[in-house]
């Protein structure tokens, strides 16, 4: 559910944040809400939050923007639906309330985001290495990348740059990543892009249907914009008997339970782009407070914690045997200012805090 | 001879309708007027409830917020009203709204200027309306399926035009349709209210409006009275399509972005609003005042539930429930009418 | 079962639609093996009575007893379980199922809920043979001509093996040979103990097969007598009553008045068929067309209303030949106003206020720049309401709330609004009470005197003879008889010509 | 006196339908059978086209691929067939499928075992069917609106049950419903084919089946013949609801996860398939063979377009177009019948 989760003290001195989440109907985004509530409940963080649900709907989101401005909180955090950012930007600009935009840029707000491109590239390097060791190359390999057109260009950078990076490693046809668009379906002879809508069933159906286009006996490399999409695709490959340990390599994205468990236990799952999504709420709140208190964030983007894990590094960040985050990467110069707000102090295990 | 006088055999309801004047007759109110009044009372109740839970609800500022969001679906609903009065449906608006939005964005970005863009978008919507109208009036395809078909065609077209991603306005000035000007109220709110007045006059005072109600009430009788039923029907869907496209342009201006996914659920939303406003599925009844109130009720529900941070899937359920209740009532009314 | 107790007895039955009393304390009974005729004018309440007995509608007052046991029917199902089967006047079948399936509808062969197309066909076959009817069992019902559909409906009822059989105008659409066969069947069944209630407008049939004749007038049972003790003449008198306000409308003849409507060589193959129909209606003349249902009289009226595009022949309206008459709009344009028989489904938009109903057919003339000129409309409506002596609370009242008679007045009024050259009236007083009927008759006569040519199609013989200057009797798609200056004395002549044995 | 002898009174073309035996009658084929045959021909054409473009299409492997996806919507369509034959609709399947999926996942994770879980899920679907049936048969609410209402309620409920997150199977063995066993074909494909046979027999060889066609063809005639129309109608929606819930369980097994968003569009998809299969919206016609072929055509389209790497938006449009064409045909058939 939603509702306000308040600090112990009188709400008069509490720092009020209105927070609009992308949607409450998908696990990936819901943890942002639940985990931040959890952080706040750990003690007097001095934060008081009011939650809104954009429900993935542009119109809903602009309505929420109006309502948040109307709340007159100390700061606003918004996880935008791709299509609404410009219009919402105006509403927020008119509101003159410090605001932070997560994952998708909103002109009127300071931008807090992961580096999708880096994720794609780093994942490609790990998988590329593993594949090369196995002697996979243009003659025997098909790269399967899953996009989500509706979530906008930035998000799909990860798959774009994943291909442009892995292509030279395996000697596949090289293309300019910017030429890979939502309507792209095949890239050269060795890559296929499918529309997975970031969800299970569409990914399953899409991959089931394009199976015949994957030359029989070819090895498969699978990478998509999130682990739901990857899981759906994986089910389809397994169902068709093309999920063998020696013919499939997977790069995950999300660092959720699915990804971490698989990275530990599944020989095919050799890399996981860990973006600590569950903590985005905390980082966003920290940034909102810092900004409201006068901190100067970088002009373009404040980086969120992220790291691409392989089987050796996974236990550094996740307690062995559990998917729970045991450590977060240290703050870097570009986001050091986040510690001033004191919010991250409630997030145990940020290296160096 | 012995009779069991007064004691009706079997279903007494059959005899009932004729007997005694109904309450509203004593009030000297037309059935529609009473309906609208009740609905307005319901709206007041809703407002009162939300205000009691959060005083922020009842501020002029929030009133404008409700209007700002309600106006988009309101414009669609005015067209949907035509369809329902004619005894049909228009689900294709769920595809025409995004299509209008994307089209509008592409046009203003191509420097056509806002007004010409609006005109072109209206025309495009109208053309899809002609398609619907012909499918329904000439090919005799059930309105539901006909408009479901065009829904997926137009929806897919919108995504294709937008090349799958949204089309941001190059020049923010092109968002004028939704800018706050007159009395610090957004232009599109005035557009909605203006259209509401126009539609009200059309339905009430023009011969087309008259013919529309006749066609919706009894196609065959209308035909025998010399009315061109097919022509009337085609116009219905042209209006609905054009207004949906306009709503798309407004939505795009609001978001300063044309999106292939914005407004895809306006079909169900508008039908809900109009039915809620007292239109009967059997056709021939319904009007602008009821529709406007219906739109406002749904707008107030969404706004209030958001203010109270009700998760959106409860909101979906609430809307579904409201729909069933509303239609249950409207069904009851029309069955009473049929009986008499 | 003791033969004394009647198979069916009805006591004090009453039925009311809105304010219209359709049946008032009707009581009669039916012995096992008896064939009883239920007679009466249109709207007398015959079908309503049959529907009540079949459980299709529930009465407001009165009791029904089967074999002496009182019963109340919640639905047709319960009536069927009591051994009552019903063949309605308006054929009601499942168009897309085969003839066989329609015959077995509701009582499919097979046990434990199982059945099969073959079994269904076999049973249908047996029934068809039992009753010696030759039907295309595998065709889909809607591909049959009306007459055969009628036979299927009859078979459907017979096949129930019911002890009580209700037949509502079963021969209306049948050729005389088929009718004879049905009459034969009826007597056989009666001989086997089946009680039959036989509704018909064809007196010759009644006098051939029926034991008793019950006559309804405006919902009241006015006479019940064994047929051997009565005569067609007497029955008709009972049907019509001796109306005190016995006014002979027929005014001085206008033999050489200019023709306003001429039909030549009208022909139609589909049932009900037309065979070389030619007639002329003069200015200010009321020409009556009288015939039983399915005789073709109705088809002529409907065609003039623009409802049948498949009729060939010549049509001339006040000297101008019509190129086509294929839509109601075309008819309007030609100056023909058509009052359809079925005001409920074809005539009126029940939810429209009276004012708008009266102006619907003439909106164009009341519109400027697309806007309805409401003052003119209101004035016109008030005038028409006055003219037809409409009784309503206010002219803004939805027409659906009016009594049948007043609805009919609105319908007629809405067609007069156009000031037509030719007025085609089909059952203009159907379901209208005696008083209202008289008012309408006066109105129509007055219009004629102002020069409007009128073609009157009615199965109400009193109306036919009372209102027409000339009465044409239609039978099997032909005009078979003409009565100039008909009077009440002409009624038996008309009935004979329309329904008597060939 | 002057006459225009012989000149037809209006358009003689209208008279035509009555005249002469239709081609199929000469072929001695029932109309339905012909329809199905034509449809099968269409399927063959589609297959031939795709094969010509890419031989991979026509392989036993790919045939299974098509079936794997088609079977889920196929199961829903078998239920939808009941609704359409009865002259109604069931849009609520779009909410009942995800509800069934989430429910199934929760149950197997609670160690109920697959079979009991399936039974419980079927029951739950049936209960929602009863709700639909009563709203439609008793409260006389238009099937479209009634099931739209329950659609949003069940859909919201599915999300609520899953608390907005997915429910992954704890034990992968619970995915048995969709495992490839017999002849290396997935179990749920066999389930679909089995159900198709059962429904075929029910519709053809039981009195319930025949009564259903009668009710759909003419409610009043059915009632006069002593058929319990309301009862028949309620059963229709019970079957539809139960099959939708089963499809949800299958879908969940396929994904090894119950998801509140999986299968939300099965309403439109199933209606498309059944209509495509020759059912008429006016009710009273339609059958299993046609429906199965309809399902396969849609499955083949999606599969073939994927193989030819057609972007997903174009696929939506193609589907909408196919729907309109198909219904156009079916409507043409029934209007021809009406004319004669
Ligand atoms: N309602 C009916 N419709 C058609 N045929 C009927 C009907 N009633 C009886 N018959 C035919 O007449 C035959 C005998 O009729 P019925 O049973 O009434 O006479 P019965 O003297 O009672 O004979 P049983 O001793 O068999 O009862 C039946 O087998 C049937 O073929
Ligand atoms: N559903 C209804 N609602 C209102 N009035 C009705 C309804 N059905 C019948 N009536 C009225 O009841 C009266 C009797 O109708 P009914 O059909 O019994 O006449 P009828 O004797 O069968 O006439 P006909 O000889 O034309 O068959 C008519 O005036 C008709 O208008
Ligand atoms: Mg009758
Ligand atoms: Mg016996």
pTM greater than 0.95 (yes/no): no
Contact call for B163 and A2, based on CB within 8 A? no
Residue with tokens 């910017």: A178
Q: How far is CA D192 from the centre of its chain?
A: 12
| Burial C173-207, CB ≥16 within 10 A → b, else e | bbeeebbebbbebbeebbeeebbbbbbbbbbbbbb
Residue D27 — very low, low, confident or very high, per pLDDT cuts 50/70/90? very low
C392-395 LR contacts (CB < 8 Å, sep 24+): C392/C354, C394/C354, C395/C353, C395/C354, C395/C355
Average pLDDT, chain D: 82
- In sequence order, the 6+-apart residues with CB closer than 8 A to the CB of D226 are C75, C76, C77, C80, C81, C106, C107
Q: 3-class SS at A176? A: coil
Distance between Cα A2 and ligand 4 center (Å): 75
Count of C-beta atoms within a 10 Å radius of residue C107? 16
Query: How many angstroms separate the CA atoms of B272 and B80, rounded?
Result: 10
pLDDT at site D26: 44
Query: How many angstroms separate the CA atoms of C307 and C305, rounded?
Result: 6
CA distances from C283 to A175, C376, C387, D3 (A): 89, 29, 21, 18
Best residue among C23, C24, C42 to mutate for probing ligand 2, ranked by most atoms within 8 Å of CB: C42
**D337 min Cα distance to partner chain B (Å):** 13
CA-nearest residue, atom 2 of ligand 2: C17
Contact call for A182 and B165, based on CB within 8 A? yes
Is the pLDDT reported for residue B147 higher than 80? yes
Q: Searching chain D, which residue's CA lies closest to the CA of residue A185?
A: D309
Task: Answer whether A271's CB lies under 8 Å from A251's CB.
Answer: yes
Residue C440 — very low, low, confident or very high, per pLDDT cuts 50/70/90? confident
Query: How many angstroms separate the CA atoms of C150 and C88, rounded?
Result: 10
Ligand 2 touching residue C405 (CB < 6 A): no
**A63 min Cα distance to partner chain B (Å):** 7
pLDDT at site B139: 81
Chains A, D: CB contacts within 8 A come to: 91
Residue C108 — very low, low, confident or very high, per pLDDT cuts 50/70/90? confident
Task: Answer whether B322's CB lies under 8 Å from B272's CB.
Answer: yes
Taking an 8 Å Cβ-Cβ cutoff, which residues of chain B contact chain D? Answer: 89, 135, 139-142, 144-146, 148-153, 155-157, 159-160, 164, 260, 268, 271, 275, 281, 311, 313-314, 316-317, 319-321, 323-324, 327-328, 331, 335
The string of DSSP codes covering C442-492 is HHHHHHHHTT-EEEEEES-HHHHHHH-SEEEEEETTEEEEEEES--GGGHH
Residue D338 — very low, low, confident or very high, per pLDDT cuts 50/70/90? very low
List residues, by chain if needed, whose CB lies under 5 Å from ion ligand 3: C 46-47, 89
**C437 min Cα distance to partner chain D (Å):** 32
Best residue among C37, C44, C219, C220 to mutate for probing ligand 2, ranked by most atoms within 8 Å of CB: C44
Query: How many angstroms separate the CA atoms of C416 and D257, rounded?
Result: 71
Ligand 1 touching residue C328 (CB < 6 A): no
Nearest atom of ligand 2 to the alpha carbon of C169? 27
Of the ranges A29-33, B232-236, C44-48, the best mean pLDDT one? B232-236
CA-nearest residue, atom 25 of ligand 2: C42
Task: Answer whether B97's CB lies under 8 Å from B247's CB.
Answer: yes
pLDDT at site B132: 94
Query: How many angstroms separate the CA atoms of C204 and C209, rounded?
Result: 9
Give CA torsion, residues A250, A254, A257, A258, to 10 deg.
Answer: -30
Distance between Cα C56 and ligand 3 center (Å): 14
Burial category of D52 from C-beta neighbours within 10 Å (exposed 0-12, middle 13-18, buried 19 and up): exposed
CA-nearest residue, atom 6 of ligand 1: C161
| Residue D149 in tokens | 């209402």
Of residues D61 and A93, more confidently modeled: A93
Q: Searching chain C, which residue's CA lies closest to the CA of residue D338?
A: C142
Tell me which of A82-86, B108-112, D121-125, D276-280 is least confident: A82-86
Give CA torsion, residues D243, D247, D252, D255, to 10 deg.
Answer: 170
Residue D15 — very low, low, confident or very high, per pLDDT cuts 50/70/90? very low
Left if phi > 0, otherwise alpha if psi is -120 to 50, otherwise beta: which for C320? beta
* Dihedral sign computed on CA atoms, order A217, A222, A227, A233: negative
Give CA torsion, residues D314, D318, D324, D327, to 10 deg.
Answer: -150
Query: How many angstroms separate the CA atoms of B248 and B266, rounded?
Result: 10
Query: How many angstroms separate the CA atoms of C90 and C92, rounded?
Result: 6
Minimal CA–CA distance to C65: which of D226, B4, D223? Answer: B4
Q: Searching chain B, which residue's CA lies closest to the CA of residue D325?
A: B149
Query: How many angstroms separate the CA atoms of D233 and D137, rounded?
Result: 6
pLDDT at site C255: 55
Minimal CA–CA distance to A117: which of A350, A332, A303? Answer: A303
Query: How many angstroms separate the CA atoms of C378 and C325, rounded?
Result: 31
Task: Answer whether D40's CB lies under 8 Å from D295's CB.
Answer: no
Nearest atom of ligand 1 to the alpha carbon of C162? 1
Nearest atom of ligand 2 to the alpha carbon of C431? 29
CA distances from A220 to A96, A253, C472, D37 (A): 50, 17, 89, 41
Q: How far is CA A268 from the centre of its chain?
A: 21
Region D39-53: mean pLDDT is: 84
Q: 3-class SS at C195? A: strand
Minimal CA–CA distance to C132: which of C104, C159, C108, C112? Answer: C159
Backbone angles phi, psi at C324, to 5 degrees: -150, 160
| Residue B63 in tokens | 């009133």
Reported as a single tens digit per residue, the pLDDT across D190-204 is: 999 999 999 999 999
| Burial A300-317, CB ≥16 within 10 A → b, else e | ebbbbbbbbbbbeebbeb
Of residues A179 and C458, more confidently modeled: A179
Minimal CA–CA distance to A94: which of B186, B303, B299? Answer: B186
Residue with tokens 């054409």: D45
Task: Answer whether A211's CB lies under 8 Å from A217's CB.
Answer: no
Query: How many angstroms separate the CA atoms of D247 and D260, rounded?
Result: 14
CA angle (B70, B75, B81) in 5-degree steps: 110
Query: How many angstroms separate the CA atoms of B177 and B119, rounded?
Result: 13
Residue B214 forms contact with C (CB below 8 Å):
yes
Count CA atoms closer than 13 A to C114's CA, side-chain side: 5
Burial category of B134 from C-beta neighbours within 10 Å (exposed 0-12, middle 13-18, buried 19 and up): middle
Tell me which of A22-31, C180-189, D134-143 is least confident: A22-31
CA angle (A330, A335, A341) in 5-degree steps: 95
Residue with tokens 């206020």: C353
Contact call for A240 and D65, based on CB within 8 A? yes
Contact call for C19 and B18, based on CB within 8 A? yes
CA angle (B320, B321, B322) in 5-degree steps: 95
Q: Among D155, D160, D331, select the one facing B141 at the smallest CB separation.
A: D331
Ligand 2 touching residue C45 (CB < 6 A): yes
Which parts of chain A register pLDDT below 70?
A: 1-12, 83-84, 351-353
Rounded to 10 deg, the angle between the D114-137 and D143-161 helix axes is: 150
Query: How many angstroms separate the CA atoms of B177 and B251, rounded?
Result: 9
Residue D31 forms contact with C (CB below 8 Å):
yes
Query: How many angstroms separate the CA atoms of C363 and C377, rounded?
Result: 9
Query: How many angstroms separate the CA atoms of A287 and A339, rounded?
Result: 9
Is the pLDDT reported for residue C139 higher than 80? yes
| Residue B286 in tokens | 């319904």
Ligand 2 touching residue C218 (CB < 6 A): no
CA distances from C97 to A287, B161, C93 (A): 72, 47, 9
Minimal CA–CA distance to D304: which of D291, D314, D293? Answer: D314
Is the pLDDT reported for residue B291 higher than 90? yes
Contacts of C410 in chain B (CB under 8 A): none
Is the pLDDT reported for residue C253 higher than 70? no
pLDDT at site A5: 46
Contact call for D144 and B311, based on CB within 8 A? no
Residue C337 — very low, low, confident or very high, per pLDDT cuts 50/70/90? very high
Query: How many angstroms separate the CA atoms of C219 and C14, rounded?
Result: 8
| Residue A154 in tokens | 């930035």
Region C107-120: mean pLDDT is: 85
Query: How many angstroms separate the CA atoms of B81 and B67, rounded?
Result: 19
Distance between Cα C121 and ligand 4 center (Å): 26
């Amino acid at each position: 559910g939603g509702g306000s989760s308040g600090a112990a003290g009188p709400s008069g001195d509490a720092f009020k944040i209105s927070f609009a989440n992308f949607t409450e109907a998908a696990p990936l985004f819901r943890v942002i809400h639940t985990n931040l509530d959890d952080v706040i409940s750990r003690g007097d963080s001095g934060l008081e939050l009011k939650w809104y649900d954009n429900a993935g709907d542009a119109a809903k989101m602009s309505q929420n923007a109006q309502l948040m401005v109307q709340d007159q909180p100390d700061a606003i955090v918004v996880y935008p639906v791709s299509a609404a950012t410009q219009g919402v930007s105006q509403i927020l600009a008119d509101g003159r309330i410090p605001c932070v935009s997560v994952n998708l840029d909103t002109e009127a707000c300071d931008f807090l985001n992961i580096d999708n491109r880096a994720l794609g590239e780093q994942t490609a390097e790990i998988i590329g290495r593993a594949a090369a060791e196995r002697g996979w190359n243009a003659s025997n390999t098909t790269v399967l990348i899953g996009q989500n057109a509706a979530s906008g260009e930035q998000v799909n950078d990860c798959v774009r740059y994943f291909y442009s990076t892995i292509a030279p490693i395996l000697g596949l046809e090289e293309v300019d990543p910017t030429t890979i668009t939502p309507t792209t379906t095949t890239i050269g002879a060795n890559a296929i892009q499918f529309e997975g809508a970031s969800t299970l069933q569409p990914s399953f159906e899409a991959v089931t249907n394009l199976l015949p286009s994957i030359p029989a006996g070819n090895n498969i490399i699978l990478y998509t914009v999130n682990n739901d999409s990857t899981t759906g695709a994986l089910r389809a490959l397994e169902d068709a008997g093309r999920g063998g340990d020696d013919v499939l390599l997977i790069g995950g994205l999300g660092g959720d339970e699915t990804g971490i468990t698989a990275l530990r236990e599944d020989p095919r799952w050799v890399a996981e782009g860990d973006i600590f999504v569950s903590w985005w709420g905390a980082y966003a709140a920290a940034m909102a407070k810092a900004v409201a208190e006068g901190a100067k964030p970088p002009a373009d983007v404040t980086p969120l914690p992220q790291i691409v894990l392989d089987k050796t590094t996974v236990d550094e960040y996740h307690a062995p045997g559990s998917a729970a985050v045991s450590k977060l990467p240290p703050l870097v110069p570009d986001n050091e200012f986040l510690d001033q707000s004191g919010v991250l102090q409630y997030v145990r295990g940020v290296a160096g805090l | 001879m012995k009779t069991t006088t007064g004691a009706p055999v079997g279903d007494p309801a059959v005899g009932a309708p004729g007997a005694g004047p109904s309450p509203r007759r004593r009030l000297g109110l037309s059935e529609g007027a009473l309906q609208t009044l009740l609905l307005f009372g319901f709206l007041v109740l809703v407002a009162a409830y939300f205000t009691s839970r959060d005083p922020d609800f009842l501020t002029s500022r929030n009133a404008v917020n409700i209007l700002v969001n309600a106006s988009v679906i309101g414009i669609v609903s005015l067209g949907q009203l035509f369809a329902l009065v004619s005894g049909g449906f228009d689900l294709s608006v769920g595809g025409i709204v995004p299509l209008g939005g994307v089209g509008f964005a592409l046009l203003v970005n191509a420097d056509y200027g806002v007004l010409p863009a609006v005109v072109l978008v209206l025309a495009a919507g109208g053309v899809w309306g002609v398609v619907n109208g012909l499918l329904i009036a000439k090919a005799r395809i059930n309105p539901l399926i006909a408009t479901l078909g065009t829904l997926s065609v137009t929806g897919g077209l919108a995504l294709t035009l937008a090349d799958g991603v949204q089309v941001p306005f190059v020049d923010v000035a092109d968002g004028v349709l939704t800018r706050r000007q007159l009395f610090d109220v957004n232009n599109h709110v005035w557009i909605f209210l203006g259209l509401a007045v126009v539609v009200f006059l059309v339905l009430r005072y023009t011969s087309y409006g008259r013919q529309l109600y006749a066609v919706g009430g009894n196609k065959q009788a209308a035909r025998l009275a010399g009315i061109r039923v097919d022509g009337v029907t085609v116009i219905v869907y042209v209006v609905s399509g054009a207004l949906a496209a306009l709503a798309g342009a407004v939505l795009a201006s609001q978001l300063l972005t044309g999106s292939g996914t914005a407004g895809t659920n306006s079909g169900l939303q508008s039908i809900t609003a109009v039915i809620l406003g007292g239109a009967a599925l059997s056709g021939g009844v319904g009007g602008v005042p009821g529709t406007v109130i219906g739109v406002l009720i749904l707008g107030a529900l969404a706004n209030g539930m958001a203010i109270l941070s009700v998760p959106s899937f409860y909101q979906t359920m609430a809307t579904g429930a409201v729909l069933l209740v509303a239609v249950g009532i409207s069904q009851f009314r029309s069955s009473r009418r049929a009986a008499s | 079962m003791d033969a004394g107790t009647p198979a069916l007895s009805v006591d004090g039955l009453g039925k009311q639609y809105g304010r219209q009393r359709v049946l008032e304390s009707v009581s009669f009974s039916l012995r096992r093996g008896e064939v009883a005729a239920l007679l009466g004018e249109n709207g007398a309440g015959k079908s309503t009575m049959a529907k009540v007995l079949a459980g299709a509608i529930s009465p407001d007052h009165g009791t029904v007893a089967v074999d002496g046991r009182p019963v109340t029917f919640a639905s047709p199902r319960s009536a069927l379980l009591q051994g009552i089967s019903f063949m309605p006047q308006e054929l009601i079948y499942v168009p897309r199922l085969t003839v066989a399936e329609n015959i077995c509808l509701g009582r499919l062969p097979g046990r434990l809920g199982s059945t099969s197309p073959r079994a269904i066909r076999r049973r249908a076959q047996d029934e068809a043979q039992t009753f010696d009817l030759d039907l295309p069992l595998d065709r889909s019902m809607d591909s049959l001509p009306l007459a055969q559909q009628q036979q299927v409906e009859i078979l459907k009822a017979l096949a129930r093996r019911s002890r009580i059989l209700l037949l509502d105008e079963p021969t209306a659409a049948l050729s005389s040979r088929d009718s004879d066969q049905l009459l034969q069947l009826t007597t056989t069944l009666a001989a086997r103990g089946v009680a039959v209630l036989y509704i018909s407008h064809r007196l010759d049939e009644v006098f051939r097969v029926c034991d008793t004749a019950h006559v309804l007038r405006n919902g009241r049972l006015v006479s019940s007598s064994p047929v051997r003790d009565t005569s067609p003449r007497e029955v008709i008198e009972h049907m019509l009553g001796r109306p005190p306000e016995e006014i002979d409308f027929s005014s001085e003849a206008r033999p050489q008045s200019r023709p306003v409507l001429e039909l030549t060589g009208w022909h139609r193959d589909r049932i009900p068929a037309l065979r070389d129909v030619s007639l002329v209606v003069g200015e200010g003349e009321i020409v009556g067309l009288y015939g039983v249902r399915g005789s073709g009289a109705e088809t002529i009226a409907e065609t003039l209303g623009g409802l049948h595009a498949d009729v060939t022949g010549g049509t001339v309206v006040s000297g101008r030949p019509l190129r086509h008459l294929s839509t109601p709009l075309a008819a309007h344009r030609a100056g023909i106003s058509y009052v359809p028989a079925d005001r409920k489904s074809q005539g009126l938009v029940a939810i429209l206020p009276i004012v708008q109903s009266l102006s619907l057919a003439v909106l164009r003339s009341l519109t400027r720049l697309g806007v309805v000129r409401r003052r003119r409309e209101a004035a016109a409506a008030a005038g028409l309401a006055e003219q037809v002596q409409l009784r309503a609370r206010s002219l803004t009242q939805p027409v659906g709330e009016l009594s049948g008679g007043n609805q009919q007045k609105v319908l007629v009024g809405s067609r007069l609004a156009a000031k037509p050259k030719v007025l085609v009236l089909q059952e203009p007083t159907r379901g209208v009470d005696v008083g209202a009927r008289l008012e309408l008759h006066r109105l129509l006569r007055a219009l004629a005197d102002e020069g409007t040519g009128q073609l009157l199609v009615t199965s109400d013989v009193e109306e036919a003879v009372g209102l027409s200057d000339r009465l044409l009797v239609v039978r099997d798609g032909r005009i078979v008889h003409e009565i100039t200056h008909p009077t009440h004395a002409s009624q038996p002549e008309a009935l004979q010509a329309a329904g008597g044995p060939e």
